[in-house]
Structure 1
Amino acid sequence: MEELDILYFIGIDISKRTFDVAIINGEVTKSFLFDNTQKGVKAFLRLLKNQDITLDDTLICMEHTGIYGNLIITKLLEAGANFCVEMSLRIVRSLGIQRGKSDKLDAIRLAQYAVKHCKEMELYSPLPEVLKKIKILIKAREQLVNFKADLNKHPNEVKLFDAELGKLAQKQVKKTNRCLDSEIKRIEAELQELILSDEKLNKTVGLVTSVSGIGIMTALYFIIFTNFFTRYKEAKQLACYCGVVPFEHTSGSSVQKRSRVHHICNHTMKKHLHMCALAAVRHDPELKLYYERKAAEGKNKMLVLNNVRNKLVLRVCAVIKRQKPYQKRVA
């Protein structure tokens, strides 16, 4: 974060109906409670004004709480406040051993986190409006796809043991499947319209999908989670975020375990990259040769696939950096 002359550190713990505020000025900590409504947010901003707390010399810290934080984030952006939206796990682990928990206490801990890590924190950067719309459509599509998979699970299992009963079970969900397929295609058509309506988005999707194995949905997830590839400094950071970078796991002479990926990652990206890797080793000559060579050497196939996932992330970062589509190499 750029150097700011911070006098006040504010922690905000947001829940569905209310949000707790803790204000630290030197060694003095004050706590307040507001309704998570338009009226409550205005009352919070009015409180700061009444106490002569200007937003220019204030740093506000809150956890990522999804839609519950949208209202206050919007108002803070309009007011030009300096604020950060941090991952809850990062905050919890940075504070060490903590005893007891309440919304008021969590707000104080958020303010303390801001005091301790203000130089490392990055100010919140909102998603463009087009990405907000795409995020909603993708979520709706994902729910429909998951529902369809759950709906067909039972008929498919019945079919394995009794063909006649399986046909009967499939017949019952056939009409629903057609409706779900129709809705999924409608959402995909809306997504395509949004992509074509934004020049920057259309170009970025084209660059990402030029990498073998990467489809439109994976490209959109990349763009949303990285806000047009601005939320990382190096390609390896993005690969770690996607959960495809193995880390050494040794200690002295007694612990000599194989390297492995960390469980803390974006599991949505990891899942999509796995499907992309499976497609890439079939259709990309270079990656196909790499996969077959490593498998012939006796390497674990999942390990090789993870290496392919890592390579795909690095390729995506490369095309974004160069702003040129990926050129396939003949193996």
Structure 2
Amino acid sequence: MEKLDFLYFVGIDVSKQTFDVAILNDGNTKSFVFDNTQKGVKAFLRLLKNQHISLNNTLICMEHTGVYGNLLITKLVEVKANFCVEMSLRIVRSLGIQRGKTDKLDAIRLAQYALKHSKEMELYRPLPDVLKQVKILIKTREQLVNFKADLNKHPNEVKLFDPELGKLALKQVKKTSKCLDNEIKRIESELHALILSDEKLNKTVGLVTSVTGIGVMTALYFIIFTNFFTRYKEAKQLACYCGVVPFEHTSGSSVQKRSRVHHIANKTMKKHLHMCALSAVRHDPELKLYYERKANEGKNKMLVLNNVRNKLVLRVCAVVKRQKPYRKRVA
């Protein structure tokens, strides 16, 4: 964040129907409640104006609450407010031991968090409209894929123990499964059309998919979660976010555990990168040779695969930074 001297710190706790506001200034805190509607958001901004609180010297902090915060975020972007949307886990852990929980108290804690961490927080950067549309489409596609897998799970299990009943169960879900396939294909066609309609998106997808093993869906997840690769400073930060960087676990001479990845990570990216790594060790000569060499040395295969996932993230960051497609090297 640009180092600004803020006079006011506002914490906003958003729920489905209302949002609580806490305004912190010189140790004094004022609390308010507004409806989570267009009128409520306008009333909040009108309150700031009536209290002579300028948006230029005010830092607003709120938790990421999905669609519940969309009305407020959209309006704050429109009026060019300084605000951050933070992970709830980061906020909770930074405040230490806390007793009691109410919406009013959470808003106050958000304001205190903003005051304490104002110099290191990153201001919110809205996703471009094309990425918002892509995000909705791939989320819908993911739900349909998961639903289809759940739908076919029961017939496949029944078939193992009673083939005749398995056929009957499969017959019942066959039409629904076919409809789901058609819907998934339709969404993929819309995604393809969206990609082609935006020059920046089309070019970035092309760069990312030039890395052997990375598919279109994984490329889109990369672009959405990083907002066109702008939400990190170093490639290792993105790799850590994807959960593929091992951390050392030692303490003195008694605790000497092996390095392992941290459980706090983007599980969606980690899952997709795992499938990409499996594809890469089959189709990329360099990574295939690396995987086989490490496996023959007795290394744990999952550990080697995680190293491949890490290499894929670094390659993706490299091609985006250089704006040149990846060139496969012969091992």
Match of 1:130 in 2: 130
C-alpha displacement at 1:39, in angstroms? Answer: 0.6
Match of 2:101 in 1: 101
Check if 1:166 corresponds to 2:166.
yes
The residue correspondences of 1:203-218 to structure 2 (distance < 5 A) are 203-218=203-218
C-alpha displacement at 1:164, in angstroms? Answer: 1.9
Q: Secondary structure at the match of 1:123?
A: coil
Q: Secondary structure at the match of 2:9?
A: strand
Match of 2:60 in 1: 60
Q: Secondary structure at the match of 1:84?
A: strand
Cα distance in 2 between the residues matched to 1:166 and 1:58 = 63
Check if 1:73 corresponds to 2:73.
yes
Q: What is the alpha-carbon root mean square deviation over aligned residues? A: 0.6
Percent identity, aligned pairs only, is 87
Cα distance in 2 between the residues matched to 1:302 and 1:37 = 48
Q: Secondary structure at the match of 1:282?
A: helix
C-alpha displacement at 1:293, in angstroms? Answer: 0.7
Match of 2:176 in 1: 176
Q: Secondary structure at the match of 2:326?
A: coil
Cα distance in 2 between the residues matched to 1:161 and 1:253 = 53
Cα distance in 1 between the residues matched to 2:296 and 2:161 = 37
Cα distance in 1 between the residues matched to 2:144 and 2:162 = 28
Cα distance in 1 between the residues matched to 2:270 and 2:184 = 22
C-alpha displacement at 1:329, in angstroms? Answer: 0.4
Cα distance in 2 between the residues matched to 1:137 and 1:154 = 27
Cα distance in 2 between the residues matched to 1:5 and 1:264 = 32
Q: Secondary structure at the match of 1:12?
A: strand
Cα distance in 2 between the residues matched to 1:284 and 1:168 = 43
C-alpha displacement at 1:270, in angstroms? Answer: 0.2
Cα distance in 2 between the residues matched to 1:96 and 1:196 = 48
Cα distance in 2 between the residues matched to 1:318 and 1:212 = 13
Cα distance in 2 between the residues matched to 1:14 and 1:138 = 26
Cα distance in 1 between the residues matched to 2:129 and 2:325 = 26
Check if 1:259 corresponds to 2:273.
no
Cα distance in 2 between the residues matched to 1:167 and 1:304 = 40
Amino acid at match of 1:231: R
Match of 2:306 in 1: 306
C-alpha displacement at 1:160, in angstroms? Answer: 1.6
Cα distance in 2 between the residues matched to 1:196 and 1:103 = 44
C-alpha displacement at 1:162, in angstroms? Answer: 2.1
Match of 1:321 in 2: 321
Q: Secondary structure at the match of 1:2?
A: coil
Amino acid at match of 1:187: I
Match of 1:280 in 2: 280
Amino acid at match of 1:205: V
Q: Secondary structure at the match of 1:89?
A: helix
Cα distance in 2 between the residues matched to 1:168 and 1:158 = 10
Cα distance in 2 between the residues matched to 1:161 and 1:300 = 35
Residue deviations 1:45-92 (CA, integer Å, cap 9, x gap): 010000100100100000000100000011111111100011111000
Amino acid at match of 1:137: L
C-alpha displacement at 1:163, in angstroms? Answer: 1.9
Match of 2:16 in 1: 16
Q: Please list every run of 5 or more consecutive structure 1 residues that lacks an aligned counterpart in the other structure.
A: none
Cα distance in 1 between the residues matched to 2:36 and 2:113 = 22
Amino acid at match of 2:39: K
C-alpha displacement at 1:5, in angstroms? Answer: 2.5
Cα distance in 1 between the residues matched to 2:223 and 2:28 = 42
Cα distance in 2 between the residues matched to 1:148 and 1:80 = 43
